[in-house]
């Protein structure tokens, strides 16, 4: 294989690649600086750090909701700054995102919300697969319910189902258990572990060290910590 | 083109369902589109009627000239015969016709009433000369009449015709300007309504962008809705407007201008274009508003 082609393949192999990436909101000092990170397929990552350290910002950079103000960042081999608006939309179909407080189209039933990524990608909805997915996140009973009637845990699971329906390569979860009790948090983490075991790359931002410890007991996970705007690999202190 | 395909694509209504129903706002948009279409029907009727009027005054009055002969009673008949002779040899004209006494009486009736003995009045003789070709030379005829029929005056109606045609043309322009203003006002109204809808659906847009919706996909959901409202509202307004125009008094009943404000013949098909134009305006206005607003959302 020619050297350039191999380099290109390796580049695509890394889902997200950051080289000395910095980011600062308008008119403020850099929140993140000198970040170097490579997210590779099939890995499970935790991103931790105190509140306000930039965890959410880092995740937003990963799905091109923000663009880095310094350094180089690629997603699926493409430089983030070079992406057009349509390219960014296409990128987001390859990245499933779950927020702490997920938003839905409140006038549509849960099943339609979950299937929404298929609709916007103009792909047909396989009703059997949709039923299976709702069953997997234990929301079969709520398929016809409207999102405002769901509990916090149900909303998170619905958001996870919506995030994975297009079978994305990367799943980003921003404090997904922030509003959930321990049992519900572990149920959600179990789903993320299953996704990871099926080959998906998962990046979970959380400040809950107990959750990280409990998850690490079941899956090999890399823990990254943001401190002082820099990214470090956390180790034995967990 | 992608947007047009999106508008036409059958998604089982899913495309529309992305945007929550808005109830009262939707009815307001329908009402406004209907009201604008109703007004557009009248503006169109005005433009068409005044156009017809301008053409009528231009062609009918230009289609003939009148020779008026005022001479002492004992010379009048002789001058009329000379004039008829001369007019028959004038190029570009048809057969001249002297107006008989009863037609003269009819012309004078509005001023003197039906019982006035016209025979007793020194009324000039009138000869109607139809114009048949472009080689008719009014100025040449005027000079020949001056030379051979001293009591004859050629009236080619220019003095009457010019201000009437000018007034009709201005009225037609007024109708066209009204149509343009109605179109612009409709575009402004739909743009405002679309922007309000987009602003009110910030959460919908955020969710759609998060799951990978392209700008055109999001815009299409709004564009389809507003295009449909503009088309349906204006169709209703057009039907009502055409109905209102159709019950106006018939032009032939009184013969006046205002009673002729309506459609004739193929003109009745012209209002069909109003819903189509309204739909196009709705489409373009919403598309512009949606894509501009979405540009600001990453």
Would the CB atoms of A116 and B208 count as touching at under 8 Å? Answer: yes
Q: Do B207 and A104 touch (CB under 8 A)?
A: yes
Q: Give B295's contacts in chain A (Cβ within 8 Å).
A: 85
Interface contact flag, A90 B212, Cβ < 8 Å: yes
What is chain A written as a DSSP string? Answer: --HHHHHHHHHHHSSEEEEEEEE--TTS--SEEEEEEEE-TT-EEEEE-STTSSHHHHHHHHTTSS--SEEEEEETTEEGGG--HHHHHHHHTSEEEE-SS----TTS-HHHHHHHHHHHTT----HHHHHHHHHHTT-GGGTTS-GGGS-HHHHHHHHHHHHHTT--SEEEEESTTTTS-HHHHHHHHHHHHHHHHTT-EEEEE---HHHHHHHHTTS-EEEEEEETTEEEE--TT-
Of A149 and B22, the structure prediction assigns the larger pLDDT to A149
Out of A106, A108, A162, whose CB is closest to B211? A162
Per-domain boundaries in chain A = 1-94+188-238, 96-167
Chain A: give the shortest CA distance to residue B213, in Å.
5
The predicted-structure confidence for B200-214, as pLDDT tens digits, reads as follows 888 899 999 999 999
Q: Which of A103, A105, A121 sits opposite B212 (nearest CB)?
A: A121
The pLDDT of A44-50, averaged and rounded, is 93
Report the CATH superfamily, name and number, of domain A1-94+188-238: P-loop containing nucleotide triphosphate hydrolases (3.40.50.300)
Q: Which tens digits make up the pLDDT trace of B239-248? A: 999 999 988 8
pLDDT, average across residues A58-63: 94
- Segment B51-65 shows an average pLDDT of 78
Cross-chain Cβ contact A103/B209 below 8 Å: no
> What is the ipTM metric for this complex?
0.86
B106 touches chain A (CB under 8 A): no
pLDDT at A2: 63
**Contact yes or no for B212 and A93 at CB 8 A:** yes
Which candidate in B210, B220, B221, B291 is best for mutational testing of the A interface (most A CBs within 10 A)?
B210
Taking CB atoms and an 8 Å limit, are B211 and A116 in contact across chains? yes
């Amino acid at each position: 294989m020619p050297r350039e082609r191999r380099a290109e393949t390796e580049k695509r192999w890394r889902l997200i690649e950051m080289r000395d990436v910095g980011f600062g909101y308008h008119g403020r000092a850099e929140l993140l600086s000198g970040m170097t990170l490579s997210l590779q397929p099939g890995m499970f990552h935790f991103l931790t750090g105190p509140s306000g350290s930039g965890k959410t910002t880092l995740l937003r950079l990963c799905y091109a909701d923000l663009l880095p103000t310094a350094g180089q960042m690629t997603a699926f081999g493409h430089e983030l700054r070079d992406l057009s608006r349509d390219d960014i939309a296409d990128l987001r179909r390859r990245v499933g995102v779950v927020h702490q407080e997920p938003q839905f189209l409140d006038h549509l039933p849960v099943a339609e919300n979950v299937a929404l990524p298929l609709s916007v990608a103009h792909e047909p909805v396989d009703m059997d697969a949709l039923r299976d997915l709702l069953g997997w996140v234990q929301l079969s009973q709520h398929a016809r319910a409207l999102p405002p009637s769901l509990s916090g845990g149900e909303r998170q699971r619905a958001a996870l189902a919506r995030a994975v329906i297009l079978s994305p390569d990367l799943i980003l979860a921003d404090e997904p258990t922030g509003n959930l009790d321990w049992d519900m948090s572990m149920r959600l983490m179990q789903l993320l572990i299953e996704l990871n075991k099926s080959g998906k790359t998962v990046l979970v931002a959380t400040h809950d060290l107990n959750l990280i410890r409990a998850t690490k007991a079941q899956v090999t996970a890399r823990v990254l910590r943001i401190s002082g705007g820099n990214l470090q690999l956390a180790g034995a202190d967990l | 083109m992608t947007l047009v395909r999106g508008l036409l694509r059958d998604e089982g209504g899913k495309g529309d369902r992305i945007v929550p129903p808005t109830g009262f706002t939707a009815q307001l948009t329908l009402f406004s589109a209907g009201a604008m279409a109703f007004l557009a029907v009248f503006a169109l009727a005005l433009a068409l009627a005044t156009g017809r009027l301008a053409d009528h005054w231009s062609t009918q009055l230009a289609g003939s000239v009148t020779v008026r002969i005022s001479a002492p009673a004992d010379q009048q008949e002789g001058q009329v015969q000379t004039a008829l002779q001369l007019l028959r040899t004038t190029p570009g004209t048809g057969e001249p016709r002297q107006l008989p006494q009863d037609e003269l009486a009819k012309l004078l009736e509005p001023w003197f009433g039906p019982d006035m003995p016209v025979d007793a009045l020194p009324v000039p003789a009138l000869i109607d000369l139809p114009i048949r070709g472009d080689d008719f030379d009014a100025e040449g005829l005027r000079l020949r009449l001056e030379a051979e029929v001293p009591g004859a005056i050629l009236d080619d109606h220019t003095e009457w015709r010019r201000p009437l045609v000018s007034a009709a043309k201005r009225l037609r322009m007024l109708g066209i300007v009204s149509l343009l203003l109605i179109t612009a006002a409709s575009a402004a109204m739909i743009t405002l309504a679309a922007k309000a809808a987009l602003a009110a659906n910030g959460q919908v847009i955020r969710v759609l962008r998060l799951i990978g919706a392209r700008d055109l996909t999001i815009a299409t959901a709004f564009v389809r809705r507003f295009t449909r409202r503009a088309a349906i509202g204006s169709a209703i307004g057009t039907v009502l407007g055409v109905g209102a125009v159709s019950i106006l008094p018939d032009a032939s009943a009184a013969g006046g201008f205002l009673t002729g404000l309506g459609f004739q013949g193929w003109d009745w098909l012209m209002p069909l274009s109003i819903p189509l134009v309204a739909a196009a305006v709705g489409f373009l206005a919403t598309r512009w508003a949606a894509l501009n607003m979405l540009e600001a959302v990453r």
